[in-house]
Copies of this chain bind each other. A is one copy, B any other.
Amino acid sequence: MGDAPTSREHLLIAFYQDNSRLLEAREKFPQLDISTVKLEFGAPIPSELARKATYIVTLNNLPKVEDAENIKLIHFISAGLDHSLHNPIFKETAIPLTSSSGIHGPPIAEWTVMNWLVASRKYAHAYENQKEHQWRKDVDKHFESIHDQVGKKVGILGYGSIGRQIGRVAHALGMTVHAYTASPRPTPSSRRDTGFIVPGTGDAEGTIPVSWHHGTDKESIHKFLSLGFDHLVIALPLTPQTTRFIGAEEFALLSANALPKHPKPYITNISRGKVLDQDALIASLESGELGGAALDVTDPEPLPADHPLWDAPNVQISPHVSSLGVEYFSRTLDIFKENLGRLQKGENLINEFQRGKGY
């Protein structure tokens, strides 16, 4: 009675920025004691804090192995864990490790569709005209140059949680979706999304694409790019195999196969800058081989002020922010919440890192 120590479990939130956004954890987990610590990017968690913790939510602040005995689960607030794979916690412990894969679909799909529509509907004209207080209703120009997305074809390289939400919205716009993955997905179960899905979004069963394609070799990707796309979305992870995967030859193929009366193909890159041959992209935009590009990622980042990509024709650039937003932390905590329940019931965790496979 009274001041006896509680046996409540303890959640430690360790992050390099102000933690206040994560404090909604208090509302989501009233059964847990919660403390936060602000640590430099990648710095280890001090022993006295780590030893009190039952659970850790972090970007890349990890405990030392000798402090981790009582820790039942470490949840990462990033989708990939590549920044921490070298840490002994990965190799020398069996603590379950979970990622936030799956929460990036909605904001990145919104960023993608926004850029498509800003480009296709020439939003910059309306924006500039409004700044000048000018009502410029050029009916003929609209009839000649504003295309909508109905009946347009999008090829999505990498049909994971992000590609699926893009596919979902594209389908609603009246487009046809064609999926490309590294490994074959011939059966309904192989097409299922088994990771975390933000409720009300995505393509859980993989039923949206009208065709599925696969391969890691040039021949396979070239066959895919010859299908006649209006849009190519690059949502691949960056690996040695995907570095500069899409370059001059691929842009030429896309362009040569563009459908009659359709605008030239539009590239969307929400992966990593190095997946593209950026110089080849600039050349294809300048020659008109491509109709435009939306790039949330560049090579290098930050893109230097004197880089020619800034002024390439019909390119729209943002500074690697497409996944960020108010809802981010709430969703990463939703995954932790789901796994807390599964852990207590002894069920398989969602988004769990497979130590054997390395992802």
A residues whose Cβ falls under 8 Å from a Cβ of B: 17-18, 21, 106-107, 109-111, 113-114, 117-118, 120-121, 123-124, 126-127, 129-130, 133-137, 139-140, 142-151, 168-169, 171-175, 198-201, 261, 301-303, 305-307, 310-311, 316-321, 324-329
Taking A117-B117, A169-B173 as contacts, is the C-beta distance between A148 and B317 under 8 angstroms?
no
For A134, give its contact among B200, B305, B311 (CB under 8 Å). Answer: B305
**A118 and B110: CB pair below 8 A?**
no
* Bound CA span A146–B319, Å: 14
* CB atoms of B325 and A146 under 8 A apart: yes
> Closest CB-CB distance, A124 to chain B, in whole Å?
7
Chain B residues whose CB sits within 8 angstroms of the CB of A305 once the complex forms: 133-134
Do B201 and A150 touch (CB < 8 A)? yes
Is A150 a contact partner of B106 (Cβ separation < 8 A)?
yes
Question: Within the assembled complex, what's the spacing in Å between the Cα atoms of A316 and B128?
Answer: 11
Cβ distance A209 to chain B, nearest Cβ, rounded Å: 14
- B302 pairs with A150, CB closer than 8 A: no
A341 to chain B, nearest CB (A): 21
Chain B, residue nearest A319 (CB): B137
A114 touches B118 (CB 8 A): yes
By a CB distance below 8 angstroms, the chain B residues around A174 are 106, 198-201
16 contacts between A and B (CB under 8 A): A17-B139, A106-B173, A109-B173, A110-B121, A110-B173, A113-B113, A126-B317, A126-B319, A135-B302, A139-B321, A143-B328, A143-B329, A147-B327, A148-B326, A169-B173, A174-B200
Task: Report the Cα distance A147→B111, complex, angstroms.
Answer: 11
* Neighbouring B residues of A311 by C-beta, 8 Å: 133
Query: Is the CB–CB distance between B148 and A321 below 8 Å?
Result: no
Tell which of B136, B143, B307 touches A326, judged by Cβ atoms closer than 8 Å: B143
Report the bound CA distance from A106 to B175 in whole Å. Answer: 11
Flag if B117 contacts A114 (CB, 8 Å): yes
Is B326's CB under 8 angstroms from A126's CB? no
CB distance from A53 to the nearest CB of B (A): 24
User: From A151, which residue of chain B is reached at the shortest CB distance?
Assistant: B200
- Smallest distance from the beta carbon of A18 to chain B beta carbons, Å? 8
Known contacts A114-B117, A310-B130: A303-B143 contact under CB 8 Å: no
Task: Tell me whether A110 and B120 are in contact (CB under 8 A).
Answer: yes
Q: Please give, as numbers and ranges, the residues of chain B lying within 8 Å of A301 by CB-CB distance.
A: 135
The one of B124, B126, B127, B137 in contact with A302, judged by C-beta atoms closer than 8 angstroms, is: B137
B118 and A148 within 8 A (CB): no
Residues from chain B with a CB closer than 8 A to the CB of A21 are 143
Note all chain B residues with C-beta closer than 8 A to A307.
133
Inter-chain CA distance A54–B301, complex, in Å, is 64
Q: A274 CB to closest chain B CB, in angstroms?
A: 17
Nearest to A129 among chain B residues (CB) is B319
With contact pairs A135-B319, A316-B126 given, residues A149 and B326 touching in the complex (Cβ less than 8 Å): no
The answer to whether B173 and A171 have CB atoms under 8 Å apart is: no
Q: A111, A139, A324: which has the most chain B beta carbons within 10 Å?
A: A324
Beyond A113-B113, A144-B326, 16 extra complex contacts between A and B, CB < 8 Å: A107-B148, A110-B173, A114-B114, A117-B117, A123-B123, A124-B127, A130-B316, A136-B319, A142-B324, A147-B326, A147-B327, A150-B198, A169-B169, A173-B201, A174-B200, A174-B201
